[in-house]
A and B are shown apart, each in its own frame.
Chain A
């Protein structure tokens, strides 16, 4: 082994520095400004299409008091909207917060259910790459098409609610800004 070796149980580097071994640091910080950083890779007046999709959906459907559950800052500009300070004041809850996507499937559905009890309209953006983060078996009949399977999972898990899949279908190769704005979009309405 090409290490300088151990000296009195202290590992030394080739140049003689003391080597300190730690648990794996959490270097991957999901900064709230991740999207801002990514936006700056492009010239001004460039916008992610799905951001415009959400802005248009809210405006064209007349939502004016949106509560935004947010992790990565997106910077929506939605006409006629006054952001609600809580779920209770909102006419729709917009969820782009990816911390929820990193929860288990059961926890995701439980939170959607709770929100729908508070506010009957919900626009949910889910990051497909985080679904089932704990590798748990899903006891539902789901499609082999992953995109369709996500829609089926949401619909079957909220069987009495009206669920519309508003997502674009494509093979996500990590180049589609999914970590800025999650890719699977659902409008859910509690009847």
Chain B
């Protein structure tokens, strides 16, 4: 940060104090939680709920028991999953979904609920971004609140991870990262889907990647088990 002629010049978001009001915090939350827009849409409809194919994919596969959605504005699935627990890191969510658990650190999830979840979902959470070598440390924390056999639905965007994009083959990089979690924290990779821009058909690309909303890199893991058979018909039918 530098101050010159009364102007504060910043390079990082924490270089100077942000305005801390509910309105600003809500806008910041919305910018980073795309699925909040789904909740906004659905709450206006008295007889319909709109979800996308990846939501259907998750619903097709979740197991009996408790489901946790972390950092994903997951309350939009509140009318579709019976035993749903919403965990967020933004206090503002309490005003939207009073039942949400607000945490500062991921360790607090297991502190609050113990190892009780049969399903765990993290959908394109901006809080999981920009980790060297992938978000391994976060995954380790998530497993602490999972029962054996828990399904872990994890998705994010390649554009929000740190690696040398000009030298690294992303398919190998992220597949190897996901596979490594088995030995690190007991997460067995059951299924994955990586999607990238395919063609060189124009100078400008309006879209970032094929699924900016959910993340173009999708994984399903099972905790300390690898026996579950994934049903991906919902995604196949959407293509």
Contacts and interface: CB of A to CB of B under 8 A. Distances in A.
A56 B59 CA distance: 54
Q: Which range contains the number of B residues in contact with the other chain?
A: 35 or more
Chain B interface SS verdict (over half)? loop
A40 B20 CA distance: 11
Contacts of A23: 52-53, 238
A132 B238 CA distance: 26
B177 interface: no
A64 interface: no
A191 interface: no
B236 interface: no
A149 interface: yes
Interface stretch (B11-19, B89-97, B180-188): B11-19
Given A20-B51, A30-B206, A106-B200, 20 more contacts: A1-B59, A22-B52, A23-B238, A27-B35, A27-B213, A40-B24, A45-B7, A46-B10, A46-B16, A104-B200, A128-B165, A133-B196, A134-B196, A135-B196, A145-B164, A174-B129, A175-B12, A175-B13, A175-B14, A176-B12
Interface of B: 2, 6-14, 16-19, 24, 27-28, 31, 34-35, 37-38, 45-56, 59-60, 62-64, 67, 79-83, 126, 129-130, 158-160, 162-167, 169-171, 196-198, 200, 202-209, 211-214, 234, 238
Interface of A: 1-3, 13-15, 17-28, 30, 37, 40-43, 45-50, 52, 97, 99-100, 102-107, 110-111, 128-135, 137-138, 140, 142, 144-146, 149-150, 153, 168, 170-177
